[in-house]
Amino acid sequence: MSIASYIASKCVETAVYWGSPVEDGFGTKTYAEPIEIACRWEDRQQIVGAITTSRVLGFGEVSRARVFVTQDVEEEGVLFHGTLSDLTLAERANPKLKEGTHIIKRFEKIPAVGSTTEFLRTAHLTPWLT
């Protein structure tokens, strides 16, 4: 069993994911409909180096959670540790309304050793700054 398969087998928790972040022209983002995804959520603080062109290389951010996921997610998307049933209709439409939602600041997708089809997927999260 590869490390990616092993991690995927341990993703027994649920998160709600809002993907497809799009600037709305008013300083906020809109998202696709939220979906539930399998995950392993670790609340932990660590410095995550900035790697995108929108941030200065070498400066890092403090990640508040590391989440192993079984599918690709997008940076600047949103994750919540829970289920859709934990959300009101308003919170489903606007994740910023739900306490405990986090922005995906970094997403890593690493191929398993000797495989081109299995990946270890990790999202590093920061809470909303309101």
Residues forming beta bridges with residue 40, ordered by sequence position: 68
More confident residue, 4 or 51: 4
The residue whose two tokens read 């009101």 is 88
55: which residues sit within 8 A by CB, 6+ positions away? Answer: none
Sign of CA dihedral 5, 20, 66, 79: negative
- Provide mean pLDDT across the span 15-26: 92
Whether the pTM exceeds 0.75: the reply is: yes
Reduced to 3 states, what is the DSSP secondary structure of residue 2? coil
pLDDT at 64: 87
Q: Are 47 and 63 in contact (CB under 8 A)?
A: yes
Question: pLDDT digit string (tens) for 79-95?
Answer: 999 999 999 999 999 99
